[in-house]
C-alpha cells in the first residue's frame, strides 16, 4: 500500500525537491512543496517514499501502463 502523504494536493507548478531527514531513531521524507512522508525506521523506506512522491508529482505514476497492449 502506498504511503499516505500529509499534503493531499500536489500541483504541477510547485517545485519538488524531496529529501530525507532524521529525527531520533526515525527517518522521514520531506519535499519543498510541503509534502511529508511517514516516519520510518529504515532510511531506505524513507528514500523510497521520497521517490514515490516525486514520481507522483511528475505524473509518472498515474494511469501508467507497464505492459504493452497485445
Instruction: Kindly report, residue by residue over 42-70, the tens digit of the pLDDT.
Output: 999 999 999 999 999 888 765 444 434 44
Is 42 part of a structural domain of the chain? yes
pLDDT tens digit sequence for 6-38: 555 555 567 889 999 999 999 999 999 999 999
Tell me, yes or no, whether 65 lies in a domain.
Answer: no
- Residue 30 belongs to a domain: yes
Total-model pTM: 0.66
Note whether residue 26 is domain-resident: yes
What separation in angstroms does the CA of 44 have from each of 7, 35, 66?
21, 18, 24
Give the E-state strand segments of 26-70 in sequence order: 26-30
Residue with cell string 499534503: 7
Amino acid at each position: 500500500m502506498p504511503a499516505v502523504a500529509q499534503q493531499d494536493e500536489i500541483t504541477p507548478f510547485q517545485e519538488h525537491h524531496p529529501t530525507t531527514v532524521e529525527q531520533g531513531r526515525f527517518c522521514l521524507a520531506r519535499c519543498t512543496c510541503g509534502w511529508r512522508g511517514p516516519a520510518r525506521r529504515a532510511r531506505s523506506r524513507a528514500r523510497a517514499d521520497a521517490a514515490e512522491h516525486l514520481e507522483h508529482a511528475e505524473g509518472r505514476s498515474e494511469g501508467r501502463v507497464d505492459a504493452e497492449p497485445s
